[in-house]
Amino acid sequence: MAQALALKGSKKLLNAWAFYDWANSVYSLVISSAIFPIFYGALFRVAGIERVVIFGGEIARAPLISYVTSLAFVFIAIVTPLVSGIADYLGNKRLFLKFFCYLGALSCIGLYWFSLENIYFGLVCYFFGLVGFWVSFAINNSYLPDIAFPEQQDGISAKGFSLGYVGSVILLIFNLAMVMQPDVFGITDNGGEVAEIKAMKYSFISVGIWWILFSQYTFAHLPKGYKREGERKNIVLNGFRELKSVWHQLGENTRLKRYLGAFFVYSMAVQTIMLIATYFGEEEITWGSDSERTTGLIISILVIQIVAIFGATVTARVSKKYGNINTLMVINCIWVALCVYAYFLQTPMDFYIAASFVGVVMGGIQALSRSTYSKFLPETTDTTSFFSFYDVAEKIGIIIGTFLYGAVAQLTGSMRNSTIFLGLFFLIGIYLLTRVNSTRK
């Protein structure tokens, strides 16, 4: 513990923590947003089918991956507090950071064998890739108040997201080159498998290797964590008890409680947009051809990632001058305008413009939300439990947000109506943030 306290605020420790974003963000971009969705659709198109028999029933490809994703987030919401409790009582959350890092990375490598013939194995790898990414991300977040002083947290949080955007874009560009020009990389059609699909499979391996390789710098410098003193029986359930304890402590910390309420509402909309943006562009935008659609969506993803670097950095600077809550309210106002704008999108150029603004506010709101929560925490060494609560709230928001988005789209027959619905969440978030700003300590 003495060593961790001595290192707190040091440049080496801060950089090591932020560098985990460089290591794991390739998953969220290459697997979640870009290559895997294209790969998944291509498998069905090449096979000439839209439905597959699984667990004794027939299901279409889109609902299948959606249900697996939702199930993964339910699992994540349950397992995160379990890990939190065990890590606190063992005093070694770095061990769990490593475990879930390797679980996610090896699952990405396992996606190389994803096929319609091996659908169960492929879905298991997809499932645990999500689990590994999000649980390790939550554990790394919980280190923030341990390694940085309050005045450092906005800047280093923004730096972490910026590093993640830069690293993921670098690997995505390499993978896209491999997919679009497989012959240049010596990848050819083999055994009936199209070269482009083979290249996508190699990209999954590259994500796993990148994630494992670059996380080693983080593991080498982060402290093990604080050991929780006291009774050690039933440590598996301690995480849930600690969530209950955090909930009770929120009653004594009005500012933190009100901020969490606001965060839960607007984050529900932010995370839903992150997950469905590509599908919205594919279905609602008028593209000239299939190739233009694929290229256009990839360009949009790259634009969001690159602009987000700028957004995270500028937001951190603005928050220093105007305060975190005021800055978050302005960002939420921009999100409202974007949701309204999205309703009227028609052309690829419209979509590119929206992607640019989404990138600015996406990077800003994620980094600032994380550091604001860290600043509002009471004096405690039990940071894992507080960030576990934060993460569980975010995941429950994702489950609710994606379900409601799909329900509105299904009931009204258009995804455009769902964007207006999400705008209402940002409006509610703005109102709740005004209550945080007016709260006295």
* CATH hierarchy code of domain 231-440: 1.20.1250.20
φ, ψ of residue 285 to 5 degrees: the values are -90, 140
Write out the chain's pLDDT in tens, 441 residues. 334 443 776 788 888 888 888 999 889 888 887 888 878 877 877 777 767 777 777 776 666 777 788 788 889 888 887 887 677 677 778 888 899 999 999 999 999 999 888 888 999 999 999 999 989 988 887 777 777 777 777 777 778 877 887 888 889 889 888 887 888 888 877 766 678 888 889 999 999 999 999 999 888 888 776 665 555 556 666 666 666 777 777 666 778 888 888 988 998 888 888 877 777 777 778 877 766 776 787 788 888 877 877 887 888 888 888 888 899 999 999 999 999 999 998 888 998 898 888 888 887 887 788 788 878 877 765 666 677 777 778 888 888 887 777 777 767 767 788 888 889 999 999 999 998 865 454
CA atoms within a 13 Å half-sphere pointing along the CA-CB vector of 27: 33
φ, ψ of residue 380 to 5 degrees: the values are -160, 155
φ, ψ of residue 227 to 5 degrees: the values are -90, 125
The CATH 1.20.1250.20 portion of the chain extends over 10-150+162-229, 231-440
**Would you tell me how many other CB atoms lie within 10 Å of the CB of residue 296?**
21
* CATH hierarchy code of domain 10-150+162-229: 1.20.1250.20
Query: CA angle 132-135-136, nearest 5°?
Result: 75
Crossing angle of helices 348-376 and 290-322, in 10° steps, is: 40
Element containing residue 155 per DSSP (H, E):
helix 150-180
